[in-house]
A and B are shown apart, each in its own frame.
Chain A
Amino acid sequence: MENTALLEVRDLRVEFRTREGVAKAVNGVSCTVHAGQTLAVLGESGSGKSVTAQAVMGILDSPPGFVTGGQVLFQGRDLLTMGEEQRRRLRGAKLAMIFQDALSALNPVMTVGAQLAEMYQVHRGMSGKEARARAVQLMDRVRIPAAKERVNDYPHQFSGGMRQRIMIAMALALEPDLIIADEPTTALDVTVQAQVMDLLAELRREFNMGLILITHDLGVVADVADRIAVMYAGRIVETAPVHQLYEAPAHPYTRGLLDSIPRLDRKGQRLHAIKGLPPSLTAIPPGCPFNPRCPRAQDICRTDRPPLFPVAAGRTSACHFWKDTLDAR
C-alpha cells in the first residue's frame, strides 16, 4: 500500500440540530482511502453514509448540519480547517461527487452541455466554445451516443442510464483524484445498473482515482470494491477487505446484512431480515448501538460501547464478541 493516504478521515462527527433535538448522524467515523483504491461504505438508510460523504465534500446543509469534530485529511491537508474559497477550488476539481438520482441532481433548465462546460469555465477559465467542445468529448467518453447532437439537450430528454452517465462525466471532467459516488445506481433499472457500474469502475482504473462507493446493495460491492466499511447508527462497525468480509463477517450486523440477500439456492424459504429498526439518531441506545437488534447481545453490550477491535491485518470490528461471530460461520 502507498504510504500517504489520498483521504484520511479521523474521528469525524456530524450532528443535525433540529427542533426535535440533536440528531447525531456521524459519531466518530475514521477511514482511509488510497489512490486507486475503492472503498465501499455499506449501511441502511440513516446510517450516516451520505452525511459522511457530504461532510467530506463540504456540502452539508448547514444549518441544520454541523461538523462537530474530527479531521478530513485530503492529500495530507485538513479540509475542515481550510478556508472556504480554498476548499471550493478543490471541490469538483480534486474531489468530485456522483449523486443518486441524476434527474433531480441535474439542473432541469440548463442543457447538459452547459452543465458540463461549466466545470471547465469555472475551474480552468476556458472560453464557452472551448468548454463546450470538451463537454462533447466527455459525453463521448462516457459513451453517450451522438454526443455532438445531444449536447444541447436537457436532462429530462435523456434516459435514466444516460443521465447517470452525464453525472459521471461531470464528476470526471477535471480528472479528480477522489470520487465519492453516493448510491450511483440505486435509481436505475437492474440491466442499466451493471452498465453504469462497469463504466464507473473502468474509468476509475483508467484515471487511477480513489473511489468511495456508498451503497446498500451488497451485490454491487462485491464486483468493484477493494475494501468495505459497514456503517451503523453513525459509526463504522466493521472494516475488511471485501472477500474476507463476505466469507466471514466479524460483526453480527454484517452477518445480518449478508443473510438478508435473497439466494436462489434457498428458494421457497422465508427471506431473512434483521429484526427491529435502526435506532433514532436523537436517542442512540447506550452501549453498542446495535444491541437491541443483536442476537448475540449480552449485558456488556448494553453498557459498554465496543471500540473497533483489530481482528486481523486490515480488519476491524466493533463487537465485543467479534471472535465468536467470526468463528460461527
Chain B
Amino acid sequence: MSRYVARRLLQMIPVFIGSTFLIFFMVYALGDPVAALFGDKAPDPATAARIRQDLYLDQPLWKQYLHYMGQVFAGNFGTAFNGQPVTELMGSAFPVTLRLTIVAIVFEVVIGIALGVLSGLRRGRPVDTTVLLLTLVVVSVPTFVSGYVLQYLIGVKWRLASPSVSPEATFGELLLPGVVLALTSLAYVTRLTRTSLAENARADYLRTALAKGLPRHRIVLRHLLRNSLIPVVTFIGADIGALMGGAIVTERIFNIRGVGFQLYQGILRQNSPTVVGFVTILVIVFLLANLLVDLLYAVLDPRIRYA
C-alpha cells in the first residue's frame, strides 16, 4: 500500500510540471501583462522595460517558469499587479470556496444518496419515476439558469435567504449557493445510487442474505447499501476537486469572493500571477483528490489491493 502511494505521488510530479507549464505558457505567452497593467494608455518604454526586468519578464519563457516554480516552492506565489501578494488572495479565497464545497458535498451526500436509495428500493413506482424525471430536468438545466432562478425566487421574491453573500461568507449564507453548486452532481449521485442499488439487488449474495433469515433492514443496510455505495463514494471523492475549481459560475452569481471569483477577475484583468498561482493550487487539489479516490476504492472494496 505505502509503495503504491509513493509511486502515485511520484507520478504526480510530471503531471504537475506538465499542467502548470501549460497554464504558465498560455497566460504569459499569449498576452502582454505589462501592457495590460497600463490599460488603455501606452506605457513609457523605459518604465515598461524596468517593470519587465523587475517582474522577470525579459527572460526566456522556460527561465521564467523555473524561476516561478522556485518561488512557488519557497511559498511565494508572486504579487498581483495591484501590489497584493497572491498568497494573501489565496488566503482569503480558498477558505470561502472550501466552505462552499463542503456545503455542496453535504447536500450531495445527504440528499443525493437518500433520493437514490428511495427510488432504487421502489423501482418502477411513482416515487422512482418522479425522482428520475426531476434529476433529468436538473441535469439538463445549466447552472447559470438554475442559479439565477433560485437566487430570484428564494433570495429576492420569497426572501428566505440573502441573494448575495457577504465577504465573510459564513456557512449559513452559503446554503443557497451550495445547493446551486451541488445540483448537477446531486442528480448524478441520485442516479448512480439508484442504478447501483438496482444492480446489486439482483446479486446472488443478497439472495443468500435473505436465505439466512436476516431482517430486511439489515439486508438493506449491511449487504445492499454497503456494496452499492462503492461507486457513489468514489464519484463524490472525484467531485471534490471539480467543485473546488468549478464554482466560477456559482460564485459569480452570488458574488462570493472565492477561488472562482478570483480566477475570473484574474483572467479578466490579465492578472497573470493570480491566474497561474490559483491554477497551480487547483492542479494539486485535483491530483490529491484523485489519489484519495483511488485509495478510498481499495478501502471500500477489499477485492482491490494495490501493490
Q: A: which residues have CB within 8 A of B? A: 54, 57, 59, 61, 88-93, 96-97, 99, 101, 104-110, 118-119, 122-123, 154, 156, 170
With A and B bound together, what is the CA distance between A109 and B300 in angstroms?
Answer: 8
Residues A154 and B211 in contact, CB atoms below 8 Å apart: no
Partner of A92, one of B204, B211, B227: B211
Query: Which residues of B are found within 8 Å of A54, using beta-carbon distances?
Result: 207
Residues A92 and B213 in contact, CB atoms below 8 Å apart: yes
Residues A122 and B213 in contact, CB atoms below 8 Å apart: yes
Partner of B223, one of A99, A101, A107, A170: A107
B75 in the interface (beta carbon within 8 A): no
> 10 extra interchain contacts, Cβ-Cβ under 8 A, other than A106-B208, A109-B226, A110-B223?
A57-B211, A104-B204, A106-B205, A108-B205, A109-B227, A110-B222, A118-B214, A118-B218, A122-B215, A123-B213
With A and B bound together, what is the CA distance between A122 and B222 in angstroms?
Answer: 12
Partner of B303, one of A88, A91, A108: A108
Query: Which residues of A are found within 8 Å of B208, using beta-carbon distances?
Result: 97, 99, 105-107, 170
Q: Give chain B's interface secondary structure class.
A: helix
Say whether, besides A101-B204, A104-B204, A109-B300, A59 and B226 are in contact (CB < 8 Å).
no
B60 in the interface (beta carbon within 8 A): no
Partner of B204, one of A96, A105, A122: A105
With A and B bound together, what is the CA distance between A92 and B210 in angstroms?
Answer: 9
Say whether, besides A91-B212, A92-B213, A109 and B207 are in contact (CB < 8 Å).
no
Residues A59 and B301 in contact, CB atoms below 8 Å apart: no
Residues B303 and A156 in contact, CB atoms below 8 Å apart: yes
Interface string of B71-95 (1 = CB under 8 A from A): 0000000000000000000000000
B302 in the interface (beta carbon within 8 A): yes
Interface string of B173-204 (1 = CB under 8 A from A): 00000000000000000000000000000111
Query: Which residues of A are found within 8 Å of B302, using beta-carbon distances?
Result: 108-109, 154, 156
Residues B212 and A108 in contact, CB atoms below 8 Å apart: no
With A and B bound together, what is the CA distance between A170 and B223 in angstroms?
Answer: 16
Residues A93 and B213 in contact, CB atoms below 8 Å apart: yes
B209 in the interface (beta carbon within 8 A): yes
Residues B211 and A59 in contact, CB atoms below 8 Å apart: yes
With A and B bound together, what is the CA distance between A97 and B207 in angstroms?
Answer: 10
With A and B bound together, what is the CA distance between A59 and B206 in angstroms?
Answer: 10
- 29 residue pairs A–B, Cβ–Cβ below 8 Å: A54-B207, A59-B210, A61-B202, A89-B213, A91-B211, A91-B213, A92-B212, A97-B208, A99-B204, A99-B211, A104-B205, A105-B204, A105-B205, A105-B208, A106-B208, A107-B227, A108-B205, A108-B301, A108-B302, A109-B227, A109-B300, A110-B222, A110-B223, A118-B218, A122-B218, A154-B302, A156-B303, A170-B208, A170-B212
Sort A-B residue pairs by CB-CB distance and give the 6 closest, nearest first. Answer: A92-B213, A91-B213, A104-B204, A92-B212, A97-B211, A107-B205
Query: Which residues of A are found within 8 Å of B226, using beta-carbon distances?
Result: 107, 109-110
Query: Which residues of A are found within 8 Å of B303, using beta-carbon distances?
Result: 108-109, 154, 156
Residues B265-307 near A (CB distance < 8 A): 300-303
Say whether, besides A108-B301, A108-B303, A118 and B204 are in contact (CB < 8 Å).
no
Nearest chain-A residue to B224 (Cβ)? A107
Query: Which residues of A are found within 8 Å of B300, using beta-carbon distances?
Result: 109
**In the assembled complex, how far is the CB of residue B205 from the closest CB belonging to chain A, in whole angstroms?**
4
With A and B bound together, what is the CA distance between A108 and B223 in angstroms?
Answer: 9
With A and B bound together, what is the CA distance between A245 and B202 in angstroms?
Answer: 37
